Structure 1
């Protein structure tokens, strides 16, 4: 007979997980954990060890458990599928509402998805590297208090393993497992009967491999990517009864890589880039290039750089700190987070603000195309969706070894100041090195896509490029080159008249002065944007950049 030394629960308490209920005292002390979930109805003072079974407590039957599917929701404009980067839980884990469940990659950014309810993980829908469509089930979660009618739903979604085909009785020799027989090899449609993840099936399609021709080495006979690589590299083995001359090199031997070559799988970032650029091939591009004089806006930049508001500055003098404290007391203008502070201003926030003013004159560029090219063949008539704010994406290159080009969006540029844009750009730069797999975890404010993108290749040193419109539904993308000095006539109109012979040079000399210029190129989706519309946008933007007084209005 054992007596509880200490009970750690009380009558009526609810137990959701296996937990310590008491310490049992006899010649030795041991712990008695709960073996089920439910509500404590009765506590027994003594435990009889001579009868079996004997219970220290009685628990009411657990509330009906409902298995709820956790569906992958739309996490951004134009996103139709996501790649699983890594699971943050495993089957059997007990989670609470808003706990992170999985990290997925979409639109070249990693996002942690949280659980919508509390419960126990019943099953996971895929492994790292698998692709999941928006609207498909991520995982199944056991939730207490449900009606239980959905318990069997996830089980029905689990594909049944195919029964092995019986060996032909008339044949005394069996062909090699990797070589399909001419009379019994399954057709291409039999791929769906082979156990393999969606990512593996996509990998097989890319290499034109019939999965039914491969014997899987994974769990339950699943075909893995390594099986496909081995099949592609070695080729199908010859039947044992084939004549000796059949071992001559075949066409498949051309796929064998040289001994010194190394196969490097694409990381998640480059896979996303591969998919996005493949979808961009559907877009007919129209490009427009020009040279912009940035002398005046550069002078404005220098003035703004010497007058950065105190709440944005990285370093403050004691007198400035006192001034900021008074401002905060009277106006609430507190200092921004250190990741949003900056010590200098580049041309980019001014160019973004000028582009927003140009978009006001050409409102088609405040629209996105629906459905976007990344959604695949359109099933409905295409339309333009006009946004109430000016949202522009910026292209950022990740300095980490994993690399990657990312296009986070800056929203409401039309109502943002140049200093606020510079602060957000500084914040974006601080996020780039934070991800080990090359995909920064941008906060929700930067996720999604803008109606335009602006890329600054000038920081690398190039003068011009041909930007590619991303398949997110946006209508145009611009690229700005390196700023350089060129001699320009002070009176360019008179220089043109003299050059054309309409006016003599005379006594008045044509003066030349150094000016700062940069090359710009914009590309647009020519299916919905006319060439003249893109040209007018670029010319309006150029006019504002060369005469930036409107930026101060």
Structure 2
């Protein structure tokens, strides 16, 4: 029997370490060559690691959420006989590449890569829920006491109907008597549930904290009348043929792209370490997408060069890829401006957090119908039902002035309220 150490390979992207997000094996499991053993997350994507040999897992690097340095031990596999030379050569080559990657990373950061995590410790037993103390002088069965505890009832306040012993019927009478006082609980007691923050959720937490910590945000919100825009969208969908159905998003993106040449400071990235702001000519639009694992931001490349139907198709493709985990690393990075929308849950107004190192994020909100005063064509006004939507923008105040953000949104309002302009050069 031979023990083969599979070290964390260099998976590119200039990284020095990756996070364990999901083990597919445990100690004692038998694995085959090319079998997936663990998912590792970098800053950009989740990468599955495959076993290079057949054998039995006898050691693993750590538990989910732990970081593993490039070149450090990932798993130790006990194999029958000798390990093939080509496997050893590949492993040694991976270690050599990893050492070079770490050396390059150490030129950028002041601290060396952390050592490999210790083996997985034995799981700690879950804490026993603390129950409400009940007056032991009160006569009641264990079942009645448990029910009272779950409902937050102090048995000392319950009057028994007979022989001084509290029964379920006495609890029912107590609840009925107090029903109008707001005493009746909303639901039964639930145990606390500790959840370890790992993987995508950990990345989201780190990115949001860094964004709010480093960027002085300000937000601006304006109301837009989208009645004509919605009518145009309905007409386009009614005559789309085999084209994808248009939502509001392609129309909003088209309006944004038309305005960027006038407001280049909106489509920019700020390297605050080098103190350089890059105003991008192309609009690589990040599209905030909710997935089961958390928020992801796939990127529509060169959005300014796509028509409404191409945008609709790309929005659908990228959203599906983000949700099913098939999005590639380059589809989840490199955005120059981000659009975030909660659709019908969009609320009245939002103050979205900037996707650092970008300098702005735009959020269309929910469309609602309200009566408004509109010109009647005779010099007066009449009341008419209109479709209204608030548009929000958050900006990095180090780069974008309030006047620029307000001017951008006002021009956006003009475009959207005269939607034929979206289809002209």
Q: TM-score range by the shorter chain?
A: 0.5 to 0.7
| C-alpha spacing 1:100/1:392, structure 2 compared with 1 (3 Å) | farther
- CA-based RMSD: 4.6
Equivalent residues in 2 for 1:446-525, closer than 5 Å? 446-460=331-345, 462-471=347-356, 473-491=357-375, 508-525=379-396
Describe the SS at the equivalent of 1:513.
Answer: strand
Q: Aligned match of 1:270 in 198, 201, 206?
A: 201
Residues of 2 paired with 1:300 and 1:151: CA distance?
57
Match of 1:112 in 2: 47
Match of 1:73 in 2: 12
Equivalent residues in 2 for 1:86-485, closer than 5 Å? 86=22, 103-106=39-42, 110-112=45-47, 128-131=64-67, 136-137=70-71, 143=86, 197=117, 219=119, 226=124, 260-282=191-213, 283-310=215-242, 312=243, 342=244, 344-370=245-271, 378=273, 381-398=274-291, 400=292, 404-431=294-321, 434=324, 440-444=325-329, 446-460=331-345, 462-471=347-356, 473-485=357-369
Tell me if 1:527 matches 2:398. Answer: yes
Residues of 2 paired with 1:121 and 1:390: CA distance?
48
Task: From the CA coordinates, give the structure whose radius of gyration is larger.
Answer: 1
Mark the runs of 5 or more structure 1 residues left unpaired by the alignment: 1-34, 37-66, 158-191, 198-217, 234-257, 313-341, 372-377, 435-439, 495-506
| Kept in 1: contact 2:68–2:116 (CA 8 A) | no
Describe the SS at the equivalent of 1:478.
Answer: strand
- After TM superposition, give the deviation of residue 417 of structure 1 in Å: 1.1
Residues of 2 paired with 1:80 and 1:384: CA distance?
27
Mark the runs of 5 or more structure 2 residues left unpaired by the alignment: 75-83, 101-111, 131-188
| Kept in 1: contact 2:7–2:91 (CA 8 A) | no
- After TM superposition, give the deviation of residue 368 of structure 1 in Å: 1.4
Residues of 2 paired with 1:396 and 1:151: CA distance?
35
- After TM superposition, give the deviation of residue 263 of structure 1 in Å: 2.1
Residues of 2 paired with 1:68 and 1:87: CA distance?
15
- After TM superposition, give the deviation of residue 536 of structure 1 in Å: 2.2
With the length of structure 2 as denominator, give the TM-score of the two structures. Answer: 0.63
With the length of structure 1 as denominator, give the TM-score of the two structures. Answer: 0.50
| C-alpha spacing 1:286/1:91, structure 2 compared with 1 (3 Å) | farther
Describe the SS at the equivalent of 2:39.
Answer: strand
- After TM superposition, give the deviation of residue 225 of structure 1 in Å: 7.9
Count of aligned residue pairs for this structure pair: 333
Describe the SS at the equivalent of 1:514.
Answer: strand
Residues of 2 paired with 1:394 and 1:151: CA distance?
35
| Kept in 2: contact 1:286–1:526 (CA 8 A) | yes
| C-alpha spacing 1:102/1:363, structure 2 compared with 1 (3 Å) | farther
| C-alpha spacing 1:444/1:146, structure 2 compared with 1 (3 Å) | closer
